[in-house]
Amino acid sequence: MSKGEFLNQLRKKLHSLPKNDLERIIDFYEEMINDMVEDGFTEEEAIQKVGNIDEIVKDIQLNLPITTLIENKIKESHNRSNNRLLWFLIVILTFPIWFSVAAAVLSALFAIAVSIFMVIGGILFAIAAVCISIIVAFAVGIYYSFKESIWYGLFFVGFSMGLSGLLIISIKLFKELFILARSSTFKFIKFIKSLLISKEN
Amino acid sequence: MDIQLKRGLLEVSVLKALEKEDSYGYKIIKDISKYIEISESTLYPILKRLESANMLSVYAIEHGGRLRKYYKINENGIRRINEFINEWEEVMKVYNFIKEEKNE
């Protein structure tokens, strides 16, 4: 395969990308091949080294934001259908269906976002409340050990210590849970992206 | 090697290569392949990611009748390198511990 053929094939496979991104990618690989040839490789060898076109395309698509992938998928199915007018009519006629589904999905996503905020807010509030209790218990303890008996005061001080310990443990726990939730979300998004990609190629 | 781990290492390696001097695609690959396995196709997404994270910037210089893209590291990129070094001080401690010979 010649450099020109390679770049044309690459360009074809990436046709759904915005012109800007497409040109940048083509430029990148053209430059890479040119540099390798300058370094002493033949065009054939350079193209071998640059890698498999399908792999390159897949890698690029995996790194596109998920919204772009969905847009591309929609554009693909639009271009495939020969009868644009028919497609247009179908979209209008089925409006009640897809619109309500879209509205439902959006509301669900919004509800999820709101509940995440609530949970985070709740946790922060609880932590604040516990911190205040710790401080109050400690202060009460000191006060009581002077005012009443030292044993009485010591109880409150001990209590505040215990509470601090529990707080530290639960903060660590929540941190772990948060990290786990975040990486699961990313893995999930990657999975969805790969579903959108594999059919195209 | 774990994919995520490798990706992170590659990103910082690219940044390091740029810390020494501004560089271009092919040269970056040559410089870091001594230390970590990287292919020409993996580099593009990495450079793109680093650019969106504002850790490097791009400019072009004419070379032999064509334009060659040069990459230049930013403040954020340098910060990332230092972050990496600090993070891995801890990793090295654990590594040395695990590598230790048993003392009978």
> pLDDT (tens digit, 9 = 90+) per residue, A48-76?
888 788 888 887 877 777 776 777 777 76
A59 vs B38 pLDDT, higher one: B38
List pLDDT tens digits, range A13-36. 888 888 888 898 899 999 999 999
Its ipTM equals 0.85
DSSP chain B: --HHHHHHHHHHHHHHHHHHS-EEHHHHHHHHTTTS---HHHHHHHHHHHHHTTSEEEEEEEETTEEEEEEEE-HHHHHHHHHHHHHHHHHHHHHHHHH-----
Interface with A, mutate which of B2, B4, B26, B68 (most A CBs under 10 A): B26
CB contact under 8 Å between B26 and A31, yes or no, is: yes
Residues in chain A closer than 8 A to B24 (CB atoms): 31, 35
> Quick one: pLDDT band at residue A201, thresholds 50, 70, 90?
very low
CB-nearest to B40 from A38, A39, A51 is A51
List pLDDT tens digits, range A80-128. 666 777 888 888 888 888 888 989 999 998 998 898 889 888 888 988 9
CB contact under 8 Å between B27 and A35, yes or no, is: yes
Q: What is the pTM of this model?
A: 0.58
Residue range A44-48: mean pLDDT, rounded = 87
> Quick one: pLDDT band at residue B36, thresholds 50, 70, 90?
very high
pLDDT for A199 equals: 55
Q: How far apart are CA A163 and CA A154, in angstroms?
A: 14
Residues in chain B closer than 8 A to A36 (CB atoms): 26
> Quick one: pLDDT band at residue B61, thresholds 50, 70, 90?
very high
B15 vs A38 pLDDT, higher one: B15
Residues in chain A closer than 8 A to B41 (CB atoms): 50-52, 55-56, 59
Range of weakest confidence among A120-129, A140-149, A154-163, B88-97: A140-149
Q: How far apart are CA A179 and CA A182, in angstroms?
A: 5
